[in-house]
Amino acid sequence: MIIGLIISVILLLFIVGYLFFTQKYVYIHHSLLLPNSSDTLLSKLEEIEFWPSWLPWTLYDDELSIETKPAHDRQIGGATIRLKGKHIGVINCLIETVHRSNSLSCSIETDSFYPSALGLQIEWGNNEEGQSLMQLKAYCTLSFWQRARQLMYQRRINADMRLLLLRLKARLEPSSDANVRFTHNGCHKLPNIDAVTKPFIVNDHSMSVQMEQGFRDLTISLGPENRPAGPSFALYEHADIRQHYFTGKLGIPIQCYSACEANPERIAFKGKYMSLIYQGSYQHLWLAWHVLYTFCRTHRLNPTHKRLNLEVYEISPRETNDSLQFVTVLYIPIM
């Protein structure tokens, strides 16, 4: 009797604590200054046939069919965009209401990405300085048990909405730093390499500045007689975007090594790696990792934490000052 009462009280406290410390919804809010007037944004949103070019889910499946269906009166309100793929399943985007002066709302239904229908609100207008401003709001509800994974869903939706905003901005302003490219590069076995390396920790300064300084130090330590035998790279031991904390080591491949301050080591890459080629500014590089991880998840590929993620800087600031031309190859070790 007493034991049963104690168990009941513990369960009650657990349920109350669970309801109190978890949230029943996910809410994301992003904003973006527009290069042109709000009318330009509305004209792009009215081009239903081009929606798939900036919806993020088209990046996650290489076997995709797309169907766009305008409303009966040829208006944008009531139109649907349907994505169907072997790996992402079916995603239906229904444009529900349009207020030409300031907003558009739509509903995203999918059985493989989010716990419930994702509500999407796009608003536009002018800020206090008179600049054109777009705001994007996304929200979905969580069931009782889904609330335990609220942070995971929030990170996933946040990255997808950032990606949506970035691709939409690229259509509005093709010459901006939002004009990035993601190209899936298949599964590879990587050759072992000889390289000089340097550990790095980033937690409070600009990551690109610290890494560039690290590569500069490595180049100096190699001396003039040891020229790099390939593009520089970074191996990640730990990466926490939310806390801006990254650890690992930087490396420069070498051949025909001559005596100098640096000490080379053999780096062995075991197993297979899923790869993605990213072209664009380092500012959005974290979204490339999101695309690659999501691609692995939709294709039922299991990344392993027993080996390190790899970035190879094929075209970096040492080759060009144009950040849109930077090319980085990402590798995720898979089981």
CATH code: domain of residue 251: 3.20.80.10
Please say if the pLDDT value at position 256 is more than 70. Answer: no
With a cut of 90, say whether residue 91 has pLDDT above it.
Answer: yes
What confidence category does residue 266 fall into, taking pLDDT thresholds of 50, 70 and 90?
confident
pLDDT at 260: 62
| pLDDT bracket for residue 212 (50, 70, 90) | confident
Number of domains in the chain: 2
Is the pLDDT assigned to residue 84 strictly greater than 90?
Answer: yes
- Residue finishing a domain among 122, 146, 176: 176
Q: What is the pLDDT of residue 44?
A: 80
Report the mean per-residue pLDDT for the chain.
85
Calculate mean pLDDT across residues 49-74: 86
> Which of 162-166, 190-194, 206-210 has the weakest average pLDDT?
206-210
The sign of the CA dihedral 43, 46, 47, 51 is: positive
User: Are 251 and 306 in the same domain?
Assistant: yes
Which of 323, 333, 324, 332 has its CA nearest to residue 212? 323
The tokens for 43 are 């004209």
DSSP 244: T
27 Cα distance to chain centroid: 18
Q: Same domain for 297 and 203?
A: yes
Tokens representing 68?
Answer: 């766009």
CA separation for the pair 252, 264 (Å, rounded):
9
Identify whether residues 125 and 244 lie together within a single domain. no
Average pLDDT over every residue of 130-145: 86
Looking at the fold, whether 230 and 275 belong to one and the same domain comes out as yes
Phi-psi region of 30 (alpha: psi -120 to 50; beta: other; left: phi over 0): beta
Q: What is the pLDDT of residues 158-189, one digit of tens each?
A: 999 999 999 988 888 888 888 899 999 999 89
Are residues 317 and 239 part of one domain? yes
Range of the domain at 261: 185-334
Residue 18 has pLDDT above 60, yes or no: no
More confident residue, 202 or 60: 60
In this prediction, what percent of the chain has a pLDDT beyond 70?
Answer: 89
- Which of the four pLDDT bands, split at 50, 70 and 90, describes residue 12? low
**Which residue, 123, 152, 176, sits at the end of a domain?**
176
Same domain, 166 and 195: no
Question: 117 and 79 in one domain?
Answer: yes
On whether both 285 and 211 belong to a single domain, the answer is yes
Shared domain for 148 and 242, answered yes or no, is: no
* The Cα angle at residue 246 between residues 204 and 199, in degrees rounded to 5: 100
Q: For the chain, how many residues are written?
A: 335
The burial class, CB within 10 Å (0-12 / 13-18 / 19+), for 182 is: buried
Which pair of structure tokens corresponds to residue 270?
Answer: 């075991």
Instruction: For residue 6, count other CB atoms closer than 10 A to its CB.
Output: 10
- How many Å apart are CA 335 and CA 326, to the nearest integer? 29
- Which of 40, 302, 309, 328 lies closest to 171 in space, CA to CA? 40
Would residue 11 count as lying in a domain? no
| Whole-number Å distance between alpha carbons of 237 and 274 | 17
Question: Which of residues 122, 154, 176 is at a domain's end?
Answer: 176
Residues 138 and 222 in one domain: no
Whether 9 is covered by a domain: the verdict is no
